[in-house]
Amino acid sequence: MPRHLIWHGHGTFEVVTDTARVMIDPFFTGNPSAIKRADEVNPDVIIVSHGHGDHVGDAIAIAKRRGALLIANHEISLWARDQGASNVHGMHIGGSHTFPWGTVKLTMALHGSMLPDGSNGGNPCGVLLRLPGATLYHACDTGLFGDMALIGEEGIDVAILPIGDNYTMGPDDALRAVRLIKPRVVIPDHFGTWPLIAQDANVWCERVRASTETRPVTLTVGQPWNF
């Protein structure tokens, strides 16, 4: 069963289940909203959504230290192997794979994916995590797209959506995304890390509450949220 979700700031989330600690986009070094260091977290699995530095982040260093399984699109998985990560699983958009702790499906995202060293990071992805007892969708960095309705058809318990604007959906489009996905719970992310993506998450949550059936939840960095 999923136990809890921890927001580490920006787009970085850790799902803790009975059998694994799964971290998406581990960005600690240089993340102004992080309260932990990369050497203080111990995921068993790391999923990287796209090649940008604020998402690849400390993935390679943590994967090497932990021997953690690193999951990413094909291009990023090859790059990660080149960087010395030995336990790597490449996938691609639309594909699912079942691991002992749950099923990962990579979904489309409207964004870029060039890696920090200029390497080709393939296409950016969102992450659908089907865990025993709950299905999570982390949209990661993306603009609004109509096919979010198809993702919603999969039955989303918890959706994590960016609201920061400028690089991703802003509050208005994220609200439209909630209407397309119809998750049970929505959690806003990718805001407030820098002044350029400052947003008032409480105001956004109030709009979600007023105009959808979805329950908005704002997480506090480092505080486990049970679901």
Q: Is 141 in the site for Ni ion (CB under 5 A)?
A: yes
Q: Per DSSP, what are the bridge partners of residue 46? A: 23, 70
Coil, helix or strand for 38? helix
The C-alpha angle 217, 190, 160, rounded to 5 degrees, equals 45
Contact region with Ni ion (CB under 5 A), list: 87-95, 141-149, 178-186, 187-195: 141-149
Minimum separation from the CB atom of position 150 to Mn ion (A)? 23
Phi-psi region of 177 (alpha: psi -120 to 50; beta: other; left: phi over 0): alpha
Minimum separation from the CB atom of position 98 to Ni ion (A)? 27
Q: How many residues bind Ni ion (CB under 5 A)?
A: 2
- Write each residue from 116 to 145 as x if it is in contact with Mn ion (CB under 5 A), else as -, in one continuous string: -------------------------x----
83 or 113: CB nearest Ni ion:
113
Structure tokens at 213: 């059936």
Phi/psi of residue 144, nearest 5 degrees: -70, 140
141 or 165: CB nearest Ni ion:
141
52 or 130: CB nearest Ni ion:
52
Check: CB of residue 53 under 8 Å from CB of residue 117.
Answer: no
- Distance in angstroms (rounded) separating the CA atoms of residues 5 and 72: 20
Q: Is 54 in the site for Mn ion (CB under 5 A)?
A: yes
135 or 142: CB nearest Mn ion:
142
Q: Give the residue nearest to Ni ion (CB).
A: 52
Structure tokens at 207: 């709009």
Question: Of 52-91, which residues contact Ni ion (CB under 5 A)?
Answer: 52
| Identity of residue 217 | V
Minimum separation from the CB atom of position 209 to Mn ion (A)? 26
160 or 208: CB nearest Ni ion:
160
Coil, helix or strand for 40? helix
> Which pairs with CB-CB distance under 8 Å and at least 24 residues apart come from 173-178?
173/143, 173/144, 174/144, 174/204, 175/204, 175/207, 175/208, 175/211, 175/212, 176/144, 177/139, 177/144, 177/148, 178/208, 178/212, 178/214
- Write each residue from 23 to 52 as x if it is in contact with Ni ion (CB under 5 A), else as -, in one continuous string: -----------------------------x
Q: Is 138 in the site for Ni ion (CB under 5 A)?
A: no
44 or 141: CB nearest Ni ion:
141
Minimum separation from the CB atom of position 111 to Mn ion (A)? 8
Can you give the binding site for Mn ion, defined by CB under 5 A?
54, 141
Can you give the binding site for Ni ion, defined by CB under 5 A?
52, 141
